[in-house]
Amino acid sequence: MKKNWLTYAMALFGIVFLLAACGGGNEKTSDAPADDNASKTDDETKTYKIGVTQIVEHPSLNAAYDGFQQALKDAGLDVDYEYQIAQGDKSNNTTIANNLASSNVDLIFANSTDSAQAALSATTEIPIVFTSVTDAVGAELVASMENPGGNVTGTIDNHPEAIPQTLKFMKEELGVSKVGMVYNSGEQNSVSQVNAVKELLEDLDMEVVDASVATSADVKQATESLIGKVDSLYIITDNTVVSALESVVSVANDNQLPMMVGEFDSVKRGGLAAYGFEFYDIGYEAGEMAVKILTGESTPAEIPVQVPQNLKLVMNKETAETIGLEIKDEWQAEFSE
């Protein structure tokens, strides 16, 4: 009797153990979909990390950065930005690029030629999108405008008709023959523009008198050195000079010299006029490229470098009055605010 009872107890224990084991298996299976859903949610709310390197702080570059950020915001991307400015120092510029390359960012936004060159020297793996670059091929950032190759693409700040239209206006409407140019010979984008101006002026029977600077502290003195040698000034999109533009405006106005500039923010700050475009727009267009890269739609190598889309003449009425220039209706100029 005792033996039968023991046999019955052991059989009952086995049944209970088997049921418990089956129940544990069912519980594990039911957890699997929950883990999958959690993973899916993480992907949908991914936060991208973008490193931003900018050679110097001035309104045009700042506007380009604003446009870049807005494009990613409009695309619905969640982004953390690591924003650093080199303050015009090449050593700082290199350090910033190296730090961003080693900080595991998803993409680098390089705002200027120097910034883009330093970023490319620091990494050939992390995608780089640039803007505010004048000659992307000459700066050896891309193989060609149509097929960049490598890990770099972006938007340039050089509309092909901007310089020719500016020089034509200076010659035909302002009667200019000698053009004063102040620029940093260490900025590749500036050298490219100055060379383009000199080449075009050969056919216009005009000449350039230039003065080179190394820092923004040199700008006023370099501008003053041109007085008596020129009948106008043309300030291109040189980051060093534009960062100290008010000193150039002061010298130009005191000497009644018309001063053409390379972009609209410089018109707002006192330049007479510019054939140009909004830096915000080229920043926004660079941001659209970044969205395609971050979401996996394209790679930098597949996205052609883009030129500014719109070109127009914008003038500063107050500056025109200061130097005694009458603005003609046929110029069809818009006016800075």
| Of residues 120, 88, 116, 96, the one with CA closest to residue 186 | 88
Structure tokens at 57: 């702080």
Q: Is residue 97's pLDDT more than 80?
A: yes
- Mean pLDDT for 151-179 is 95
Cβ neighbourhood burial of 324 (10 Å; 0-12, 13-18, 19+) = exposed
Q: Contact 193/236 with Cβ under 8 angstroms?
A: yes
DSSP string, 185-201: TT-HHHHHHHHHHHHHH
Give start and end residues of each alpha helix (H) in the chain: 2-44, 59-74, 90-101, 113-122, 162-172, 188-201, 219-224, 239-242, 245-254, 264-268, 279-294, 317-322
Query: What is the radius of gyration, based on Cα positions, of the chain?
Result: 30
Task: Tell me the pLDDT tens digit for each residue of 190-237.
Answer: 999 999 999 999 899 999 999 999 999 999 999 999 999 999 999 999
Closest alpha carbon to 270 in 261, 278, 282:
261
Strand partners, 54: 85, 111
Q: Give residue 4's pLDDT.
A: 47
pLDDT band for 9, please (50, 70, 90 cuts): very low
CB atoms under 10 Å from CB of 206, counted, come to 19
**Single-letter amino acid, residue 178:** K
Identify which of 188, 193, 218 has the alpha carbon closest to the alpha carbon of residue 208: 193
Beta bridge partners of 84: 53
Nearest to 216 by CA among 243, 178, 254: 243
Band the pLDDT of 182: cuts 50, 70, 90: very high
Span 274-304, pLDDT tens digits: 998 889 999 999 999 999 999 999 999 999 9
pTM: 0.71
17 phi and psi angles, rounded to 5 deg: -60, -40
Q: Binning pLDDT at 50, 70 and 90, where does residue 171 land?
A: very high
Which comes out higher in pLDDT, residue 272 or 40? Answer: 272
173 by DSSP, 3-state: which? coil
Residues 145, 307: Cα–Cα separation, whole Å: 9
Q: Is 177 exposed, middle or buried (0-12, 13-18, 19+ CB in 10 A)?
A: middle
The answer to whether the CB of 68 falls within 8 A of the CB of 115 is no
**For residues 102-114, b (16+ Cβ closer than 10 Å) or e, as one string?**
eeebbbbbbbbbb
Q: What is the band of 310 on the pLDDT scale with cuts at 50, 70, 90?
A: confident
Please give the structure tokens belonging to residue 7.
Answer: 């046999």
- Alpha carbon dihedral 308, 312, 318, 320, in 10-degree steps, equals 120
Our measurement of the distance from residue 29's CA atom to the centroid of its chain's CA atoms, rounded to an integer in Å, reads 50
Q: What's the Cα-to-Cα distance from 162 to each of 212, 236, 237, 260, 312, rounded to whole Å?
A: 22, 10, 11, 11, 9
Phi, psi of 206 (to 5 degrees): -125, 165
Average pLDDT, rounded, for the chain:
89
Please say if the pLDDT value at position 103 is more than 60: yes
Quote the pLDDT of residue 27: 36
Q: pLDDT per residue over 233-258, tens digit each?
A: 999 999 999 999 999 999 999 999 99
